Structure 1
Amino acid sequence: MTRTVLVTGASGLVGRATVEALRRRPGTRVVALRHRTGITAPGVRTVQGDITAPGLGLPADLHGELTSTVTHVVHCAAQVGWLKADARTEATNVDGTRQTCAFAAAAGARLLHVSTAFVALDLTAATPAPIPGSRNHPGAYLDSKRAAEDVVRRTRPDSVIVRIPGMLGDSRTGETGTLQGFHRFVAAAVQGRVPVVPLLPGSVLDLMPTDHVGEAIAALTDAPDDTTPRLVWLTAGPAAPTMAQVAATITETIGELGLPATAPELLDVATVARRLAADGIRPGTPAWRRVADIGAMCEVYRHERRFPSHLGTVPGTPVPTTRSVLDALAALTRHLATRLTAEAGPTGSP
């Protein structure tokens, strides 16, 4: 039986991995909804739209065609910038989810909504920044994702909400496409720009490779609706590594590549702030803001909690291990080192 799956946010990190996994499934037609950035993949149809607009911004004839043929909608589109306040975040994550739910209802399609595991944390836009003066704050983003989940539960209660953790790259190649927050941290470590991390060694970093998450989302489109939980965690769960393990893996991989490798100090955020003050670095200066921004980005990992995980129970998905997560982290580190070297050029300058 042939089915047609519409993927929103198809050019993003998780969207691309999901499209790649879906297009290899027999009897599956994939329609990738793009806004600005396109996606090219064999056998994948790309259409242009806007998830914040009625009818996903599709022309009337195309909207009619798709609502009569689409059987599944995988909603991966999201604004993931962790800024204190950004109107695009609310528009994309909440209004975009509302419009996607309306499209799925018009099509009579099954909806899989991709959310983030970090909504389970006690972290909101009102949470004080760990170091004052940060331009970043994940709380506003998490508030928008919680609101998006509420939209799904109210308007499409038969849908599946999929919570994913921090993303690495491809498990084998480390390829990422665009860089997100954790990727930038690894890139900075490769360049020797992370002497201190404002996280304790026992902090838990739930991370997963993109291809494993994409395959699991694709597998969920195959799973019988009556046996699939309404909330699915595609996380490392008990296998999530600690900050100490993450720092050791990055440092060892950098060393294996013949680059200067020094393990960062892992400190609580209050100690980091005191060091800044002791070194004469004052609030409002660029040096202070850089550290404050890193501190804010680390907020989602400043705990020793381990999320649940359904990986291994979703048909066709393996149970993650700490080793498999760290191997994917090593692949990401190698990929970014190669990428940064190529971007620096033959003289070694950016």
Structure 2
Amino acid sequence: MFKRTLGIAAFCGLAATAALAGESRPVRLVTYFMVPGGDDHAGLRTLATQYDAVILHEWSAGKLAEFRQANPQLVCLLYKSGMGLHVRNDVESVEFYDNVINNTSLNSSSWFQTDSQGNRISWDWDGNGTVDAYAMRPESTGWQQFFAQKVITDSLEQGWDGVFADDLWTYRGVYGAPSPYSSDAQLQQAMVQFLRYQQNTLHQYGLWFTGNIGWFTVNNVPVWQDYMAHMDAGMQEKFSPEDPYQWYTQMNELTQAMSRRHHMICIRYGAHDNMRRALYSFCNALLVTDGSRLYYGYIPTTGSSRQPPYYSWYDRASLLGRPMGPLTVNFSQNYGHRRFLNGHVYVNPTSATKTIPLPAGVWYNQSGQVVTSVTLAPYSGDFVLNRP
């Protein structure tokens, strides 16, 4: 099999990973499922040149060649659940690998989590009353091997750079499903076995192993640290909380992850025209990025467009230059600040409006106007530059 060794080198920072439009942007851009249709060639090319990474279902595999032509550096990750097999034997599923493959429903009982009566545990991720998948035992060597081989085959045949594994659970009872594990720690140890096997195996083929950690800290235990030790990138899907305590906790976690040279994927959902939330979350990404390893995506929950948004501040942020120090928190006034080579970033994670005086110098706002202070509405962010 062909080994995509360039992919691993790029993701580990040994080669350029930035899209053509974002070579100097301190935050990379990722889209999560949102992608134009296959007949929208202009839209596909625009996405490839504006963004740095995509996480997509396998039905988008036919778009990868067009992506590569527009931007050979684009990172393309295949989405699959790392904890589920489809409950049906007679249907196809893009979220899960199908139960029917290799007769797993008949011959691989040790792969599945079971309740006290021996029944397979299933789960319903969106709470719509439809059972979506069987819960797998991450410590099962059979399941580990099956998942890795499917990812390798799909990636090398379809052109993916690796996998994004969802549902990397950090506690028992996710989606209300019962658990056969005696403690959260036991589940976490089992999950680490799965993560270690996937990363070691996929790296042999030059493929990346990434995934969604979900809850980074459980009962004050920083579970993310053990998980990230065996992943090429981890997702924080609850990025940019609008709560001071949660905000501070998350910023601290992500700052630690960046200091350990981890790649992070930070996703924020919101209305497509909610400019306040979109800029707030982007500024939070600027507060914690190391300048190259943080991938950020604002995913609209409204609107009919399938084109990922590209806001004006994405380009303007490229003028900030490199970070000149870590995030600092002004606890007396409750705001976050970070200095860059050519500007300053400010975030207000509270419910009160704040006016923050700028340091000495000439500073320009998003409109190119000279300002001496920034006024931040509740849960908002902004940055200023030393040039128009």
Task: Please identify the structure whose Cα radius of gyration is greater.
Answer: 2
- Using the size of structure 1 for normalisation, the TM-score is 0.29
User: Which one has the bigger helix percentage?
Assistant: 1
- Using the size of structure 2 for normalisation, the TM-score is 0.27
User: Which one has the bigger strand percentage?
Assistant: 2
